[in-house]
């Protein structure tokens, strides 16, 4: 049983080195190797290997080494550890960053690279009050940051439910109050979901969502140097 929620984040640029990539590829399970090789472009290969390495490390550090060799998928594609129903994980990648979370609670996570003005996307996919919250920031840079805060928070909620993109982001609302507390409204108030953000000031936004973490269990965030896994 996982005692705490552990968050792993890594820069995958080290995988641009072919010998490093090939050596680490041999470390992950066969299904992950096949998945990595199925990508046409190098970025996809690196991202897939990166999240696979984080999951492998997470399972090892919580005393379930090898659990990542038995990943199954739910109805909408949400992954889980087939042999450990009380252990939950989720993975995400964007640009040159990968993220993984393992927890005793159902979890969804998301990382997104921050890039440019996304006001029109907000108007299309967000609730009007969410778009208004983004626009209340004065600079375009701050508005872009606010957009990606909401986008990652929404994405991790969509993932924790197991519904993914079948639950469109305009079907629920997130409210960030003056104290930075985040509340979810989806067919009513949903306090059973807790949201967590990570800002490493690296041009990316990171977020994860836990279900029924009523006692605010311990959480740990680690930045991993993939070369140290060699």
**pTM of the shown model:** 0.95
Q: Do 80 and 112 belong together in one domain?
A: no
Which pLDDT score is estimated for 19? Answer: 97
Q: Rounded to whole angstroms, how far apart are CA atoms 193 and 209?
A: 7
Q: Do 99 and 134 belong together in one domain?
A: no
Q: Rounded to whole angstroms, how far apart are CA atoms 93 and 17?
A: 19
Q: Do 4 and 94 belong together in one domain?
A: yes
Q: Do 131 and 227 belong together in one domain?
A: no
CA 13 to chain centre: 18
Residues of the chain with pLDDT below 50 are: none
Which pLDDT score is estimated for 216? Answer: 87
Q: Do 99 and 165 belong together in one domain?
A: no
Instruction: Show the beta-strand stretches assigned E in 74-113.
Output: 79-81, 88-94, 97-103, 107-113
Contacts of 24 (CB under 8 A, 6+ apart): 15, 49, 53, 226, 229, 230
Could you tell me the CATH number of the domain that includes residue 1? 3.90.470.20
Total domains in the chain come to 2
Q: Do 133 and 161 belong together in one domain?
A: yes
Q: Do 85 and 21 belong together in one domain?
A: yes
Structure tokens at 103: 């927890």
Which pLDDT score is estimated for 2? Answer: 57
Q: Do 34 and 99 belong together in one domain?
A: yes
Q: Do 192 and 220 belong together in one domain?
A: no
What secondary structure does DSSP assign to 38-69, as a single string? H-SSHHHHHHHHHHHHHHHHHHHHTT-TTGGG
Q: What is the pLDDT of residues 119-156, one digit of tens each?
A: 888 999 999 999 999 999 999 999 999 999 999 999 99
Q: Do 135 and 221 belong together in one domain?
A: no
Q: Do 208 and 147 belong together in one domain?
A: yes
Q: Do 68 and 114 belong together in one domain?
A: no
The whole domain housing 88 covers 1-105+216-230
The DSSP call for residue 172 is S
Which pLDDT score is estimated for 15? Answer: 98
What separation in angstroms does the CA of 8 have from each of 22, 34, 91, 117, 163? 22, 23, 9, 28, 23
């Amino acid at each position: 049983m996982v005692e705490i929620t552990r968050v792993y984040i890594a820069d995958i640029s080290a995988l641009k080195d072919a010998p490093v990539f090939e050596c680490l590829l041999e470390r992950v399970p066969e299904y992950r190797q096949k998945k990595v090789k199925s990508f046409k472009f190098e970025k996809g290969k690196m991202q897939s290997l990166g999240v696979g390495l984080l999951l492998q490390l997470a399972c090892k550090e919580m005393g379930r080494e090898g659990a990542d060799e038995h990943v199954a998928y739910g109805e909408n594609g949400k992954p889980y550890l087939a042999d450990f129903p009380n252990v939950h994980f989720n993975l995400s990648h964007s640009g040159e960053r990968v993220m993984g979370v393992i927890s005793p609670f159902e979890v969804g996570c998301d990382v997104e690279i921050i890039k440019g003005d996304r006001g029109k996307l907000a108007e299309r996919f967000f609730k009007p009050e969410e778009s208004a919250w983004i626009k209340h920031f004065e600079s375009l840079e701050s508005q872009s940051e606010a957009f990606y805060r909401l986008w990652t928070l929404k994405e991790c909620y969509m993932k924790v439910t197991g519904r993914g993109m079948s639950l469109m982001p305009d079907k629920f609302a997130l409210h960030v109050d003056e104290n930075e507390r985040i509340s979810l409204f989806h067919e009513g108030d949903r306090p059973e979901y807790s949201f967590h953000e990570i800002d490493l000031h690296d041009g990316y936004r990171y977020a994860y969502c836990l279900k029924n973490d009523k006692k605010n269990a311990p959480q740990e965030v680690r930045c991993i140097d993939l070369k140290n896994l060699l």
